[in-house]
Amino acid sequence: MADAALFIGWGATAAGRERKSVELFGESLRFLSRMVEQGRVASVEPFFLEPHGGDLEGFFLVRGEQDELNRIRSEDDFQRLAVRAQVAVANFGVVGAITGERLNKHMAWFAEAAKQIDQ
């Protein structure tokens, strides 16, 4: 059961790097899809956002187990793709997210902290 996710987001393509950005998107999707095929992550879903005036243009949502996502994030192949994305697009980032059963635990901690502050 997936208890975590990676939100891999990006903004506008750097001028003159449009073709490379398209190639990098395909390569990244293939890389992440292999993670699903290998059973390392539960799912990968790409998103492109409609024009909205903000800095975020699209993202991948990669669901899996926290420990495995941490391993993947630190591997050279993932880091290499991330560095290439940083030079191809603006506002590139990778953010961990909590979901599944871990979300319930997180919300319990939040409720406990809120209760302590309200006293």
> pLDDT of 58-97, one tens digit each?
999 999 999 999 999 999 999 999 999 999 999 999 999 9
Q: Which of 83, 89, 85, 81 is nearest to 16 (CA)?
A: 89
The pTM (predicted TM-score) of the whole model is: 0.89
Number of folded domains in the chain? 1
In this model, does residue 1 exceed pLDDT 80?
Answer: no
**Which CATH number characterizes residue 71's domain?**
3.30.70.100
pLDDT of residue 63: 97
Which amino acid, 18?
E
Which domain, by its residues, includes 61? 4-118
Phi–psi pair at 40, nearest 5 degrees = -80, -30
